[in-house]
Amino acid sequence: MRLDRLLANMGIGSRRDVKKLITSGAVKVNGRTVKDAGLEVNTESDEVTCGGEPVKYRQFVYLMMNKPAGVLSCGDGAPGVKVAADLVGDDYNFYDLSPAGRLDVDSEGLLILTNDGDFIHNIISPNKKNGKVYFIRTEGELSGSDVERFREGVRVDDEFTAKSAKLEVLKSIGGVSEALVTISEGKYHQVKRMVKACGKTVTYLKRLSIGGLRLDEGLAPGAYRPLTDGELADLKR
């Protein structure tokens, strides 16, 4: 890869900016100052520094975020409405990050952000059977009959019948229920629509896990961290 492209891709600056840095003598490859922006470097074995700081090439990044309510998963937000990628700091915001499975703007919890399109496809594909677990709070008490309806597959409307899903009622009292929902699909507002088809309304939703990946409860709303090698390997399997 060209030296100027590597530096630009790693967020050091624009191609014009990094060419100025290179010609100024701020960049070294394997300990030697280089001033050729077109120098081909081996991203696996060559050691590149800029201003004395190492620059390590990473083609793909995978972040776990605890998405807060009021933030869009992706897309162009309305004025004053942030997108999840807007919460990512300078260490990763130069990557073109997209979510591997969306969350509604008023929903919270586990969101995976990455620039690996194949990975996103594998995560969201229903054929991969990556079960997603949500904690929900409802207006209206969920019952055993609702559990059975989820198990059989809820007919949401004339065009969509959800596949078999698991509903585990944790608490149901005073016209309010708390429950865990596990689905293998990811249709638009699916959990909310399934609950609504049962005559109740979701008032709070938080995604807890995708496949074997559980939300790190140490992450405050809006915080993020890279996936560990083990977490990434489990998801890719």
Cα 161–162–167 angle (5° rounding)? 135
Strands (E), the chain: 27-29, 32-33, 48-50, 53-55, 62-67, 71-72, 82-83, 98-99, 108-114, 132-139, 166-173, 176-183, 201-210, 213-214, 224-226
DSSP 8-state symbol, 205 = E
Half-sphere exposure of 218 (CA within 13 A, CB side): 1
The Cα 53–Cα 33 span in angstroms is: 13
Active site residue 17: no
Q: How far apart are CA 237 and CA 231, in angstroms?
A: 10
Task: Provide the token pair at 5.
Answer: 């492209």
Cα separation, 232 vs 213, whole angstroms: 9
Q: Which of 17, 76, 86, 104 is catalytic?
A: 104
Known catalytic residues? 104
